[in-house]
Amino acid sequence: MKKNTFALYKMSHCPYCIKTIKAIKNLKIDVEYKDINESEKHNKTLIQEGGKRQVPCLRIPNENGAPTWLYESGDIINFLTKLSVN
Ligand SMILES: N[C@@H](CCC(=O)N[C@@H](CS)C(=O)NCC(=O)O)C(=O)O
């Protein structure tokens, strides 16, 4: 995993993921996608590090420590929107 890139844990056919990915594309932010149904490794990482199996979840890298795991499509979109405005 690239250390300094946002990663969106998602699965196909999830309406909240589709909405979040659409917003990310509109904002033109560089995000890696991790499908938890296609990869058991991504599924395990999400549960162990994020805390629960729920998508979408954005992994936010932190240069000085552990990454932050942000759940909830609305919160993810707000966070990324604010980031691209600043
Ligand atoms: N309020 C959440 C809802 C997310 C949600 O319900 N995600 C479903 C998939 S659509 C999920 O992760 N379910 C767990 C599972 O399928 O194991 C959001 O807006 O992100």
Domains of the chain and CATH, by start? 6-85 (3.40.30.10)
Calculate how far, in angstroms, residue 29's C-alpha sits from the geometric centre of ligand 1.
Answer: 22
Phi, psi of 47 (to 5 degrees): -65, -45
| The pTM of the whole model exceeds 0.85 | yes
Residue 45 near residue 68 (C-beta atoms within 8 A): no
Confidence of residue 22 (pLDDT cuts 50, 70, 90): very high
Confidence of residue 3 (pLDDT cuts 50, 70, 90): low
Rg (CA), the chain: 12
What strands lie across the sheet with 31-35, from one edge to the other?
31-35, 6-10, 57-60, 68-71
pLDDT at residue 1 tops 70? no
Which residue, judged by its Cα, is nearest atom 9 of ligand 1?
Answer: 14
pLDDT at residue 35 tops 80? yes
Of all atoms in ligand 1, which is nearest to the CA of residue 71? 20
Structure tokens at 11: 């699965």
pLDDT, tens digit, for every residue of 62-80? 988 899 999 999 999 999 9
Region 40-44: what's the mean pLDDT?
Answer: 98
Closest among 71, 67, 70 to 1, alpha carbons compared:
67
